[in-house]
Chains A and B, each alone.
Chain A
Amino acid sequence: GQQLNQSPQSMFIQEGEDVSMNCTSSSIFNTWLWYKQDPGEGPVLLIALYKAGELTSNGRLTAQFGITRKDSFLNISASIPSDVGIYFCAGATSGTYKYIFGTGTRLKVLA
Chain B
Amino acid sequence: NAGVTQTPKFRVLKTGQSMTLLCAQDMNHEYMYWYRQDPGMGLRLIHYSVGEGTTAKGEVPDGYNVSRLKKQNFLLGLESAAPSQTSVYFCASSSQGGEQFFGPGTRLTVL
A: residues with CB less than 8 A from B are 1, 3-4, 31, 33, 35, 40-45, 48, 88, 90, 92, 97-99, 101-104
- From A1, A42, A103, give the contact of B59 (CB < 8 A): A1
B 32-48 contacts with A by CB, 8 A: 33, 35, 40-45, 48
- From B97, B99, B105, give the contact of A42 (CB < 8 A): B105
Whether, in the assembled complex, B77 has its beta carbon less than 8 Å from a beta carbon of chain A, the answer is: no
Query: How many B residues, CB 8 Å from partner?
Result: 25
Say whether A97 contacts B90, CB under 8 Å.
no
Closest Cβ neighbor of B3 among chain A residues: A42
B: residues with CB less than 8 A from A are 4, 31, 33, 35, 40-45, 48, 50, 58-60, 90, 94, 97, 99-105
